[in-house]
Amino acid sequence: MSESLQGFLVSGQVSLREAMAMIDRNNKGIVLVVDPEQRLQATITDGDVRRAILAGISLDSPVQILTERRSEAPITAPAGTLGAELLRRMQERSVRQLPLVDAAGRVVELVTLDELLPTERLPLEAVIMAGGAGTRLRPLTQDTPKPMLPIGGRPMLERLIEQLRGAGIHRVNISTHYKREVIENHFGDGTGFGVAVTYVKETEPLGTAGALSLMQAPTEPLLVVNGDLLTRVDFRAMMHFHREHKADLTVAVRQYDVHVPFGVVETNAESVTKLVEKPVLNFFVNAGIYLLEPHIHQFIPNGQRYDMTELIQRLLAQQRRVVSFPVLEYWLDVGQHADYARAQTAVEEAQTRPLNAGHKL
In eight-state DSSP terms, residue 234 is -
Domain count, the chain: 2
The pLDDT score that the predictor gives to residue 358 is 44
Say yes or no: 103 and 170 in one domain.
Answer: no
Considering 98, 116, 134, which residue would you say is the last residue of a domain? 116
Q: Is residue 271 part of a domain?
A: no
Say yes or no: 141 and 97 in one domain.
Answer: no
Please provide residue 199's backbone torsions phi and psi, each rounded to the nearest 5 degrees: -105, 135
Contacts made by residues 71-77, CB under 8 angstroms, sequence distance 24+: 74/40, 74/41, 74/42, 74/43, 74/99, 75/43, 76/40, 76/100, 76/101, 77/101, 77/111
CATH code, domain carrying 67: 3.10.580.10
Tens-digit pLDDT profile for residues 117-133: 766 678 899 999 999 88
User: What's the one-letter identity of residue 251?
Assistant: V
Domain containing residue 112: 9-116
Say yes or no: 162 and 189 in one domain.
Answer: yes
- Distance between CA atoms of residues 184 and 155, nearest Å: 13
With contact defined as beta carbons under 8 Å apart, do 170 and 195 qualify? yes
Say yes or no: 150 and 175 in one domain.
Answer: yes
Considering 67, 91, 116, which residue would you say is the last residue of a domain? 116
**DSSP three-state, residue 349:** helix
Q: Is residue 174 part of a domain?
A: yes
Q: Residue 39: CA atoms inside 13 Å, Cβ hemisphere, count? A: 7
Say yes or no: 242 and 318 in one domain.
Answer: yes
Say yes or no: 78 and 205 in one domain.
Answer: no
CATH code, domain carrying 340: 3.90.550.10
The pLDDT score that the predictor gives to residue 360 is 57
Contacts made by residues 265-273, CB under 8 angstroms, sequence distance 24+: none
Say yes or no: 131 and 181 in one domain.
Answer: yes
Say yes or no: 298 and 191 in one domain.
Answer: yes
Tens-digit pLDDT profile for residues 275-305: 999 988 888 899 999 999 999 999 999 988 9
Q: Is residue 4 part of a domain?
A: no
Say yes or no: 210 and 146 in one domain.
Answer: yes
Segments of the chain scoring below 70 in pLDDT: 1-3, 118-120, 353-361
The pLDDT score that the predictor gives to residue 255 is 86
Q: Residue 122: CA atoms inside 13 Å, Cβ hemisphere, count? A: 28
- Distance between CA atoms of residues 202 and 191, nearest Å: 23
The pLDDT score that the predictor gives to residue 96 is 86
With contact defined as beta carbons under 8 Å apart, do 50 and 242 qualify? no
Say yes or no: 102 and 135 in one domain.
Answer: no
Please provide residue 319's backbone torsions phi and psi, each rounded to the nearest 5 degrees: 60, 35
Q: Is residue 274 part of a domain?
A: no
Say yes or no: 172 and 228 in one domain.
Answer: yes
Considering 84, 116, 148, which residue would you say is the last residue of a domain? 116
Q: Is residue 270 part of a domain?
A: no
Q: Is residue 267 part of a domain?
A: no
Spatial CA neighbour of 185 closest among 291, 289, 129, 174: 174
Say yes or no: 99 and 138 in one domain.
Answer: no
